[in-house]
Amino acid sequence: MTQDREPGFDTLAVHAGAAPDPATGARATPIYQTAAYVFDNVDHAAALFNLETFGNIYTRIMNPTEAVLEERVAALEGGTAGLAVASGHAAQYVTFHTLMSPGDEFIAARQLYGGSINQFNQSFKKSDWRVVWADADDPSSFEAAVTDKTKAIFIESLANPGGVVTDIEAIGKIAKSAGVPLIVDNTLATPYLCRPIEHGADIIIHSLTKFLGGHGTSLGGILIDCGTFDWLASGRFPTLSEPCESYHGIRMAETFGDFGFAIAARVLALRDLGPCISPFNAFLLLTGIETLSLRMRRHCDNALAVAQWLEGHDKIAWVNYAGLEGSRYRELAKKYCPKGAGAVFTFGLKGGFDAGVKLVESVQIFSHLANIGDTKSLIIHPASTTHRQLTDEQRAAAGAGDDVVRLSIGIEDKDDIIGDLEQAFAQL
């Protein structure tokens, strides 16, 4: 990359973190399929284990292929460091493990992916971490939920599946006033459409499985340390501010500064919990990121065309896509996602639950499966699948009522996508 100007987004997506392999000259980032690494000598090994120097010890904690992935996504988001892990859920668990102690609380928007709602409501209980729910459409509800036990606020930039565009800046101000970090899941938007760090985010999370990888081949997750939060200011985050027994009393935030959170998450949470990503998956995800902007432009163009067509269909009760002129989220989308409102949205079938089940069984180009962000168009009926563990009230609050169908629009010819929906509707 040139040295006299800041590289553009597309250049970073192709080059950030990578260079020709010094050993072989290979231009593609190699897959370092190894469990461990040879030390130069005893002193070198001691320095690595004491965190006195950076380098590779064991692939559960770090790996050269994964390091390129981490640096690339951090560059695209404008953060200081990244930590890649096995899945988006793993990224969430590692993040909260680094932030929370038993009995602590965090506030989360109730308009979230159903798996996150379940993780927060159920699995986190075993660690005695308590979620308090707020309304993404009402930033004041976050402020009202803050207590002296609050350790973080969690939102999605574009909420899955309800199509909510969250007012990141307004909620970020509440988090700052409360002295806690704002965590933003930016999976649906990607850094191509939305840069949460510019609106107050302190930690950004992605399921790399989705649009960043883009091809539905590889699981992965990542957390990005934005380097914007002062972990030493309040003493409320002892993992970052207090002497660490594992590393001879160093203070993570003091020693590593604006990437202290990412280091703590790596050498404490990832080290001990172990949800590491495989080098092969990291390689495939890196390959996908190279075409991120090209794919997202096509995704958004196709999604808008499909949403506009659905608006006029007699079997459709409503369409919730922020790219539509009549959407309640249109102005927020212009602010936070000026390049497009994403590729995932929901609509309501007049036939309710039974019509939703019939529709997903009638499509041909669309694939009925529990994923988003693929080059291929995907469809699901959340009430009968991803959100079925929730109560009727929880499903409705999450935007996954009985009539809701979620689409993840791919990069096929838009006329073929619309034609497939048309023939499926004809069977209802």
- 231-278 pLDDT, tens digit each: 999 999 999 999 999 999 999 999 999 999 999 999 999 999 999 999
Q: How confident is the model at residue 190 (pLDDT cuts 50, 70, 90)?
A: very high
**Could you say which DSSP state residue 383 is in?**
G
Give the model's pLDDT for residue 66. Answer: 98
Q: Which of 310-334 are b and which e, b meaning 16 or more Cβ less than 10 Å from the residue's Cβ?
A: beebebbeebbbbbbeebebbebbe
pLDDT of residue 1: 55
Mean pLDDT, the chain, integer: 95
How many Å apart are CA 252 and CA 30, to the nearest integer?
31
Among candidates 369, 368, 322, 365, which has minimal Cα distance to 343? Answer: 322
Written as six digits, the tokens of 396 are: 């409705």
pLDDT of the residue at 114: 83
Domains of the chain: 9-288 (3.40.640.10), 293-425 (3.90.1150.10)
Pairing type for strands 378-380 and 404-408 reads: antiparallel
Compute CA distances 381 → 8, 162, 196, 369, whole Å: 38, 12, 29, 9
Q: What is the pLDDT of residues 13-66, one digit of tens each?
A: 999 999 999 989 999 999 999 999 999 999 999 999 999 999 999 999 999 999
Which is nearest to 89 in space by CA: 122, 50, 111, 138? Answer: 122
Residue 238: is the preceding peptide bond cis (ω within 30°)?
no
pLDDT at 2: 55
Burial grade of 376 (CB within 10 A; 0-12, 13-18, 19 or more): middle
Which of the four pLDDT bands, split at 50, 70 and 90, describes residue 160? confident
Distance of alpha carbon 56 from alpha carbon 251, whole angstroms:
21
Which percentage of the chain shows pLDDT scores above 90? 90
| CA dist., res. 244 & res. 252, Å (int) | 8
Would you place residue 162 in the very low, low, confident or very high pLDDT band (cuts 50, 70, 90)?
confident
Q: What's the pLDDT score for residue 422?
A: 97
**pLDDT tens figures, 299-349:** 999 999 999 999 999 999 999 999 999 999 999 999 999 999 999 999 999
Q: Residue 3 — pLDDT band, cuts 50, 70, 90? A: low
Angle between helices 64-77 and 279-289 in degrees, nearest 10: 30
Residue 378: phi, psi to the nearest 5? -125, 150
Helices (H), 179-277: 190-193, 238-241, 252-256, 260-264, 271-273
Quick one: pLDDT at residue 401?
87
- pLDDT of 395 reads 77
Say what the pLDDT of residue 216 is: 95
Residue 161 — pLDDT band, cuts 50, 70, 90?
Answer: confident
Provide the pLDDT for residue 383.
84
Q: What is the β-pairing status of strands 81-85 and 367-368?
A: unpaired
pTM strictly above 0.85: yes
